[in-house]
Structure 1
């Protein structure tokens, strides 16, 4: 919890609007507020408690008066009672990893004789009606009242802790409320109450209890829907931020060649496939080259061979018929009829003789290769094969040329793939962003599902409640179920009792170490106290010297007992994790100068992440102010006007030289 600002309007001695900036920085946790006695230091402490807890606030000026009377008398005497008074406190807390900013405004005024009080709560700048109406319960989740009393303390609190007998009650309360032991006890009490409710046998009372439970469940379900809606909006916003970051990383990744790096295996596979295709094409070309295809390089020789085959075929044909031509010719002449003239007979004979001579000449070749008689058919088949292979070869050459171009392109792409060492950081950042986005989206989906489930549950409970209220159906609760609940509640209570005892021992052990370390850091006599023990039953504080002998607290001076009380509060804060602001009022009353210096040097700068220190000019004097200077975030002085009996807040401390208002 971190306080940011408090504004008092006509509250107590504070006239008009008085505002204090309470924000701090790392290494500068202290807001120093100075004021003389009666100027309103304790009133400021009361204001913080009043705005948070209202009628339950443990204000020092209230005494035994009623809350109504206290508020009436807290309106500044110079203010108009009809306008009343107002306290505004701004603070932030971490909820589910997200910082939530709260602004709590509590105001009251007189309307005739009646006192009207209003409380409004704004979360992240938006008014929240549900929180405003249920603030007393919600503030207990943020800062329980019992815990607040251990961090908002004045000189009276320290005086009470300085008494060992009275300190036991404070230690017991602190351990139970601040360190979670009371939660275990409350669980045991709740289980006991559950058992008693289960033993109720009155049927009508059971129905009434059921309706009451359904009403409570319905309110819880509505709150659950609201909370999940807020969480979903936060998750969706986080997804958007991560997506923007991922887009930036993606652009850097792409500019560095990341896309090629991602596709390296794919590119290598593509290149291998292209190389295999080129090898297959070349293999096919070689296979074609092993056939008749090379004969295309001898076109003239093939033509000569074709002519020679034709002549040899003609000679062969002539050789076959020339022997029977004389007999055929004589037979033809004999067949001529008698009517044919001698001249015609002579002309025919001459023609037959000329044909026979020509055939005899054809049968006589100058050169014969003795080619097969079907050589012409073979050459025709060869010509068809060569034409077909030539066409296939041209296609393969064209395809292989294109494949070579593709292979060059693949090589160029692979050459553009960046080295893994050069792109490793970008790859890791990109993967991390993608993983984070995936987780956020999964959380978003779960949130949407859970919101839908919560809405369904709200509607279902509402419908059940409406039916129960309308019909008021009476049902009997089976004893077996009741007995089972009672039995398991007994077991759970036994387990919680053991757990609570173990938790108490553990916290007491840690607290002993923290208080002893704190006490040694503050004490002027460093060797006085060697050991410190806290009884787990009565919570009594026992001190021991270096020999292990107990030390009577009465041997300690009043200042040393006061330091012991401060050490106890400091130790509690350490064990609780210093997660809450500390408000310390008039802490140096009975301390000598050396102890005051120890507090200024060792305690105040380390009492917590935020420390509001209320002091007079004699407690934090000029010397201690100089020691605190490196740890100061803001300084204020409460100035009281004795004529009007009003207080105003001014920046700076009494000795302002070298001590800025905002460090």
Structure 2
């Protein structure tokens, strides 16, 4: 098998039509395709597998998603869903020294009913082949079996998987049986066994046969009924989606026309009235506060004058009460110091005391024109405190009233924004009808879904009954001599084939062991690390590694890079044993290798991996140095250029550091 070219149209990140020429020539078997992470290298590998195997393809981005959902995700985000996406692969194979050219095209798109449609077209030697198109899933297995393809189409994750001895054992078993012809012998044995079983069944009791035929007819009818129920359920689902879309459109118009406010009208009016009542309560509290001493704040100057007069009157009263006491005290004081001070000093002191009494006497003569009580100052001080408290409370209430007034204005605006019944009434009715229609469609879908589930369950019951009927069949009481001869010689042939399978398996096991060991020693930097590699067919085809001292080596003791090289050697050895007749697609295999091992892969493996090798790499794996070592074996190169703004990838000729590739450097 030799790949010629692959063409991607709006597939994944590949916008528009992107074509890669994959043909190689003797001595230059490698097509190098470069791309940074996320540019679409693995997508290219997925595309080749998808066009060949369709729903059976082991594509990296599919996971557990249904096939149709995966195809939908593969359409480029900028593409028209009605145009869809397509993959075309051209290749040639040689059968009995005659070369046949194939062109396989797989395309899919959405129809007007939002249904995904997929088409497969196969051309052989330039002519459309209906037979190959209709039976492609079986025919491709004769060209490149799906189980075998994993040995030739692999990426770094596949290498990581094969580094696990258990995964490697499964690959070895599958490869030897599928790739090297052992499974063909086993299939022939099974065909002979099936022939024997059919001959025995043909002589079964007629009543049992008729019962089985009746059950098979019922199962066929039930299967058709389940299919019809599925179609009705799909139609009901489509109707439900249409009703949902219609309701969504009306909801959008309803919301744009103020529908949400219309639905909240009573709530908005209640909120407005609540704020209005709070504002009224606050104003009422302000009025009550104004009925107390608060208005006296307007007489601050007068109150200040009253306090000053009260203080003067208090001072006058105090002076009047103490004036006689002061005169007696002054005379006593002069008497006490008469002998202590000279006459001049006594005269000065006497004048000062006399002057003080005169001032106090003048103060005592103050006219009491307000007739204030003796505790007037205390009462006025209490009034000041009460006025300060009332003033603070008044400020709080006034701010609260202002806030309520502002909130009331906003609430009134919201109420005023509510559309009236005349304006939105039609939309309200349309919305009500759409909701009712959606409910009817939902009920119809659920009913059809229930009928479909019942039909499927009935199919399951009939299948179980048919299986029990087959298993309960009694062996025929007699058989003709010629039937006995068929069974007898079929058994002998199966025995011969069984021995042939054992011998063929042993032969291939030995060849694979030698090829894998040679490949490993070719790639390893440490020579002599492993003396022998054997495959234990008794232990589920497990790899057994023997060290230079003759002792078994646990693969877990190898470094990550050495296990990776062992996995590559396994794939290479199997491919060499099969004759390297298939193309190899290798995606980023250098992840955990040091520089020396990378050079070994570039020098010794890639040029010998097959007659045609598609190598997918980043600029850090096949760098400028390794590119120079690989250049003698390159047929041509490409670079996948990704636009980070549009998230699309285009294919450009050339590779980093190659002539003419400045646009991708």
TM-score range, shorter chain: 0.5 to 0.7
The Cα shift of 1:478 comes to 6.0
Does the aligned pair in 2 maintain the 1:635–1:660 contact within 8 Å? Answer: no
Mapping of residues 238-277 of structure 1, within 5 Å: none
Tell me which residue corresponds to 1:510.
Answer: 511
- Alignment CA distance shift 1:495-1:555 (3 Å): same
Tell me which residue corresponds to 1:197.
Answer: 198
Does residue 40 in structure 1 map to residue 40 in structure 2?
yes
Mapping of residues 111-510 of structure 1, within 5 Å: 111-113=111-113, 114-201=115-202, 479-510=480-511
Give the whole-Å Cα distance in 1 for the aligned partners of 2:626 and 2:535: 33
Give the whole-Å Cα distance in 2 for the aligned partners of 1:203 and 1:171: 42
- Residue range with higher mean Cα deviation, 117-126 or 545-554: 545-554
TM-score in terms of structure 2 length:
0.57
Encode CA deviations 1:450-483: one digit per residue, 9 max, x unaligned.
xxxxxxxxxxxxxxxxxxxxxxxxxxx9622222
Tell me which residue corresponds to 2:593.
Answer: 591
The Cα shift of 1:547 comes to 2.8
- Alignment CA distance shift 1:511-1:69 (3 Å): same
Does the aligned pair in 1 maintain the 2:203–2:479 contact within 8 Å? Answer: no
Does residue 530 in structure 1 map to residue 517 in structure 2?
no
- Alignment CA distance shift 1:544-1:203 (3 Å): closer
The Cα shift of 1:627 comes to 0.6
Encode CA deviations 1:374-408: one digit per residue, 9 max, x unaligned.
xxxxxxxxxxxxxxxxxxxxxxxxxxxxxxxxxxx
Does residue 571 in structure 1 map to residue 573 in structure 2?
yes
Alignment partner of 1:81: what SS? coil
Give the whole-Å Cα distance in 2 for the aligned partners of 1:22 and 1:641: 24
Does the aligned pair in 2 maintain the 1:629–1:659 contact within 8 Å? Answer: no
The Cα shift of 1:137 comes to 1.3
Does the aligned pair in 2 maintain the 1:110–1:116 contact within 8 Å? Answer: yes
Does residue 625 in structure 1 map to residue 621 in structure 2?
no
Encode CA deviations 1:599-637: one digit per residue, 9 max, x unaligned.
000000000000000111111111111110000011111
Identify unmatched segments of 5+ residues in structure 2: 214-477
Give the whole-Å Cα distance in 1 for the aligned partners of 2:193 and 2:143: 27
Give the whole-Å Cα distance in 1 for the aligned partners of 2:197 and 2:636: 55
The Cα shift of 1:202 comes to 6.0
- Alignment CA distance shift 1:543-1:120 (3 Å): same
Alignment partner of 2:201: what SS? coil
The Cα shift of 1:657 comes to 3.5
Does the aligned pair in 1 maintain the 2:656–2:662 contact within 8 Å? Answer: no
Encode CA deviations 1:434-461: one digit per residue, 9 max, x unaligned.
xxxxxxxxxxxxxxxxxxxxxxxxxxxx
Give the whole-Å Cα distance in 1 for the aligned partners of 2:620 and 2:73: 30
Give the whole-Å Cα distance in 1 for the aligned partners of 2:617 and 2:141: 29
Give the whole-Å Cα distance in 2 for the aligned partners of 1:116 and 1:604: 39
Does residue 81 in structure 1 map to residue 81 in structure 2?
yes
Q: Which has the larger radius of gyration?
A: 1
Give the whole-Å Cα distance in 1 for the aligned partners of 2:69 and 2:519: 41
Give the whole-Å Cα distance in 2 for the aligned partners of 1:142 and 1:165: 28
Does the aligned pair in 1 maintain the 2:515–2:577 contact within 8 Å? Answer: yes
The Cα shift of 1:577 comes to 0.2
Does the aligned pair in 1 maintain the 2:654–2:660 contact within 8 Å? Answer: no
Does the aligned pair in 1 maintain the 2:521–2:527 contact within 8 Å? Answer: yes
The Cα shift of 1:125 comes to 1.0
Tell me which residue corresponds to 1:609.
Answer: 611
Give the whole-Å Cα distance in 2 for the aligned partners of 1:151 and 1:485: 41
The Cα shift of 1:565 comes to 0.2
Give the whole-Å Cα distance in 2 for the aligned partners of 1:203 and 1:534: 45
Alignment partner of 1:78: what SS? coil
Alignment partner of 1:200: what SS? helix
Give the whole-Å Cα distance in 2 for the aligned partners of 1:62 and 1:78: 20
Does the aligned pair in 2 maintain the 1:515–1:572 contact within 8 Å? Answer: yes
Does the aligned pair in 2 maintain the 1:81–1:109 contact within 8 Å? Answer: yes
Tell me which residue corresponds to 1:649.
Answer: 651
Alignment partner of 1:9: what SS? strand
- Alignment CA distance shift 1:590-1:497 (3 Å): same
Encode CA deviations 1:510-546: one digit per residue, 9 max, x unaligned.
0000000000000000121111111122211111122
TM-score in terms of structure 1 length:
0.58
The Cα shift of 1:555 comes to 2.1
Alignment partner of 2:106: what SS? strand
Does the aligned pair in 2 maintain the 1:534–1:542 contact within 8 Å? Answer: yes
Encode CA deviations 1:38-76: one digit per residue, 9 max, x unaligned.
111111001101111111111111110111111111111
The Cα shift of 1:128 comes to 1.2
Does the aligned pair in 2 maintain the 1:164–1:541 contact within 8 Å? Answer: yes
Give the whole-Å Cα distance in 2 for the aligned partners of 1:137 and 1:614: 29
Count the aligned residue pairs.
396
Tell me which residue corresponds to 1:27.
Answer: 27
Q: Select the residue among 553, 561, 564 that pairs with 2:563.
A: 561
Give the whole-Å Cα distance in 1 for the aligned partners of 2:4 and 2:206: 49
Encode CA deviations 1:88-109: one digit per residue, 9 max, x unaligned.
0000010221111111111111
Give the whole-Å Cα distance in 2 for the aligned partners of 1:153 and 1:556: 22
- Alignment CA distance shift 1:660-1:603 (3 Å): farther
Tell me which residue corresponds to 1:463.
Answer: none
Does the aligned pair in 2 maintain the 1:188–1:493 contact within 8 Å? Answer: yes
Give the whole-Å Cα distance in 2 for the aligned partners of 1:651 and 1:155: 24
Alignment partner of 2:171: what SS? helix
Give the whole-Å Cα distance in 2 for the aligned partners of 1:638 and 1:659: 11
- Alignment CA distance shift 1:64-1:56 (3 Å): same
Give the whole-Å Cα distance in 2 for the aligned partners of 1:116 and 1:625: 43
The Cα shift of 1:645 comes to 1.1
The Cα shift of 1:658 comes to 8.7
- Alignment CA distance shift 1:193-1:565 (3 Å): same
The Cα shift of 1:165 comes to 2.2
The Cα shift of 1:139 comes to 0.9
The Cα shift of 1:569 comes to 0.3
